[in-house]
């Protein structure tokens, strides 16, 4: 009995003649990769265990989730990886390079018949070149860095045969969306797949990448496509070592065979929430589109961007539609520049980003907001994956046509002028303003436990760091209070309802961020007492009906834990624990009026 493609690759890298499904082997890894998402944890695991690097030339960091470092945690993770790489001679494919899995193929880090592991769950796009790729967690990748091997259970193989001739306008994305619908989210669970049939064999490398990238969405380990002469030639030009492509034996044993009938297939789209919930684009009711994302490891190659540009050339996106374009690699970015594609996208009204994962990885550009309807060329549309809105998955042609029409539509419909009327947005319901209690009484005498934070010039970044500025839910702001003030990072866990906070002079200097006030309200803090306040901070607090009391308190008059009573109308501050009094400035008539009605915007 012969071997399947995945069995032959695993056997060759495990020092075995033959392996069978269910066997566990030590698998030699040709390329070991950690990205900015997870890379710092790989470093932590290695340092904590006192481990080194087995072979630096086969070990790589790739920064693709947030290449701009716009999220401070990503920026820190990237720097941790850079420092470690310098210490150990490890390669860094830095923020200008693009998606790590694509860079691996482009730079010849992997080749047909080779093996690669990464912290990227879509490392299985290596199946596009007939190589083995697997996404793994931080501990697995740390072990691969340190030993060059991982243990692996040989998966069974499902043979997927694509039959028929797709209809006009259908490409690789439509094929794989049809397959995902046919098999479902767990149709390849725990299995490898070998893909064959004329529709698959006709695909170029970009199309093969598109199909292979969605094996994860069918629960698969990897979807392998036997490499064509074109793919082999592409890889020979780049591979860092000689190789011979691997193919399954004619008498290989498969777990089962699945036939995917794509005869007459029309352009597909996956409805929000499930990549396997796919239908024909023309079968949907008229659906408004607010934004479009072109890119990701699934559809960010030059062929994908050319297909979108063909639709967009000479056209502009519909009013109110946002189009965001992110190529997979820097080489593709430069190719777009040379071919004039960036001019087409910019003339159409697009925002163009540097190479990387884009909104698919919650970094860079491509995220959406509440209620926003997005058409994405990515591979996942789970709730929250690309933001807070709803995401449809489609091909680049369908995405570009939908951007122009402002409604879900195929490119063929657009070219024929068959554009349905664009639905209006649903009206935003009015919501009642938040209140502090069911029966709001707005007491002017406040009693609570004192917190003494004897620090002057506490700025708004110390109170509520800018990495949390996108937070709009007041209920979630409290957890970040004093998160950047040394020694007080645990204040949210220690604070209680009704507490009073005494701070140094010039409290709240810095930015105009309202969250630096709201975070205290979120924790239930009653008031802040300080010798002086930043001007903007004081206004923000007044307008939000949060008492900020000017009080020249002294540290010999009050300590953390003392019980205080503050009269906002007279300025009297009583220390009930010590039986002493302090003087403060009473709230003005304007401040009291705003406070009593619950805020500037309350009637």
Are 29 and 131 spatial neighbours (Cβ–Cβ below 8 Å)?
Answer: no
Residue 364: domain span? 279-415
Q: How far apart are alpha carbons 325 and 332 in whole angstroms?
A: 12
**Do 223 and 367 have their domain in common?**
no
What percentage of the chain reaches a pLDDT higher than 70? 97
Task: pLDDT band for 437, please (50, 70, 90 cuts).
Answer: very low
Are 392 and 313 spatial neighbours (Cβ–Cβ below 8 Å)?
Answer: no
**What's the pLDDT score for residue 410?**
97
**What's the pLDDT score for residue 430?**
53
**Do 159 and 49 have their domain in common?**
yes
Task: pLDDT band for 426, please (50, 70, 90 cuts).
Answer: confident
Q: How far apart are alpha carbons 478 and 464 in whole angstroms?
A: 9
Q: Which helix (H) or strand (E) holds 312?
A: helix 302-312
Give rounded-to-5 percent helix, strand, coil for the chain: 35, 20, 45
**Domain membership flag for residue 426:** no
pTM assigned to the model: 0.82
Q: How far apart are alpha carbons 253 and 22 in whole angstroms?
A: 14
- pLDDT over threshold 80, residue 492: yes
The rounded mean pLDDT for the chain is: 93
**245-266: average pLDDT:** 97
**Domain membership flag for residue 254:** yes
**Domain membership flag for residue 273:** no
pLDDT in tens, 549-567: 999 999 999 999 999 999 9
The first and second tokens of residue 533, run together, are 């306040």
**Domain membership flag for residue 494:** yes
Q: How far apart are alpha carbons 96 and 319 in whole angstroms?
A: 32
**Do 289 and 338 have their domain in common?**
yes
Regarding predicted confidence, which is higher, 370 or 404? 404
**Domain membership flag for residue 431:** no
- pLDDT over threshold 90, residue 468: no
Task: pLDDT band for 425, please (50, 70, 90 cuts).
Answer: confident
CATH number, position 15:
3.30.499.10
**478-489: average pLDDT:** 96
> How many structural domains compose the chain?
3
**Do 135 and 187 have their domain in common?**
yes
- pLDDT over threshold 80, residue 70: no
């Amino acid at each position: 009995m012969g071997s399947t493609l995945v069995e032959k690759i695993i056997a060759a890298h495990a020092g075995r003649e033959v392996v069978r499904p269910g066997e566990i082997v030590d698998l030699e890894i040709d390329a070991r990769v950690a990205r900015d998402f997870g890379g710092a944890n790989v470093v932590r695991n290695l340092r904590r265990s006192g481990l080194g690097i087995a072979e630096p030339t086969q070990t790589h960091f790739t920064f693709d989730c947030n290449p701009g470092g716009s999220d401070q945690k990503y920026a820190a993770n990237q720097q941790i990886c850079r420092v470690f790489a310098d210490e150990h001679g490890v390669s860094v494919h830095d923020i200008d390079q693009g998606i790590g899995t694509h860079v691996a193929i482009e730079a010849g880090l992997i080749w047909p018949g080779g093996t690669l592991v990464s912290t990227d769950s879509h490392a299985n796009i290596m199946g596009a070149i007939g190589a083995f790729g697997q996404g793994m967690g931080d501990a697995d990748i740390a072990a691969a860095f340190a030993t060059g091997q991982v243990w692996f259970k040989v998966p069974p193989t499902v043979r997927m045969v694509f039959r028929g001739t797709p209809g006009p306008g259908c490409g690789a994305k439509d094929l794989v969306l049809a397959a995902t619908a046919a098999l479902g989210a767990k149709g390849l669970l725990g299995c490898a797949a070998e893909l064959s049939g004329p529709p698959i064999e006709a695909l170029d490398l970009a199309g093969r990448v598109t199909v292979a990238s969605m094996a994860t969405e069918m629960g698969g380990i990897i979807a392998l496509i036997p490499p064509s002469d074109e793919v082999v030639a592409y890889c020979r030009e780049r591979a860092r070592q000689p190789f011979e492509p691997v193919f399954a034996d004619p008498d290989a044993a498969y777990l089962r065979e699945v036939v995917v009938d794509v005869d007459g297939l029309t352009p597909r789209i996956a409805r929000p929430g499930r990549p396997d919930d796919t239908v024909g684009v023309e079968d949907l009711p008229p659906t408004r589109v607010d934004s479009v994302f072109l890119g990701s490891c699934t559809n960010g190659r030059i062929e994908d961007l050319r297909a979108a540009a063909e639709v967009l050339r000479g056209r502009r996106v519909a009013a109110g539609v946002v189009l965001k374009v992110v190529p997979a690699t820097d080489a593709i970015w430069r190719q777009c520049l040379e071919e004039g594609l960036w001019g087409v996208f910019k003339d159409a009204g697009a925002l163009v980003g540097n190479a990387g994962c884009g909104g698919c990885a919650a970094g860079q550009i491509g995220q959406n907001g509440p209620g926003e309807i997005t058409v994405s060329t990515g591979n996942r549309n789970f709730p929250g994956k690309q933001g807070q809105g709803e995401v449809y998955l489609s091909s680049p042609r369908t995405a570009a046509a939908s951007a122009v029409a402002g409604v879900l539509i195929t490119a063929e419909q657009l070219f024929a002028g068959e554009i349905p009327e664009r639905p209006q947005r649903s009206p935003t319901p009015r919501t009642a303003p938040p209140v502090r209690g069911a029966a709001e009484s707005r007491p002017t005498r406040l009693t609570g436990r004192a917190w003494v934070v004897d620090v002057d010039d506490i700025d708004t970044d110390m109170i509520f760091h800018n990495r949390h500025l996108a937070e709009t839910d007041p209920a979630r702001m409290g957890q970040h209070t004093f998160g950047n003030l040394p020694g007080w990072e645990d204040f949210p866990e220690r604070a209680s309802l009704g507490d009073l906070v005494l701070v140094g002079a010039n409290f709240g200097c810095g930015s105009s961020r309202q969250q630096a006030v709201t975070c205290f309200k979120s924790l239930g803090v009653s008031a802040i007492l300080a010798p002086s306040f930043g001007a903007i901070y004081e206004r923000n607090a007044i307008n939000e009906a949060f008492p900020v009391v000017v009080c020249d308190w002294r540290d010999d008059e009050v300590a953390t834990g003392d019980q205080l009573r503050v009269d906002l109308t007279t300025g009297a501050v009583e220390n009930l624990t010590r039986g002493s009094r302090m003087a403060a400035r009473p709230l003005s008539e304007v401040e009291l009026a705003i406070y009593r009605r619950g805020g500037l915007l309350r009637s």
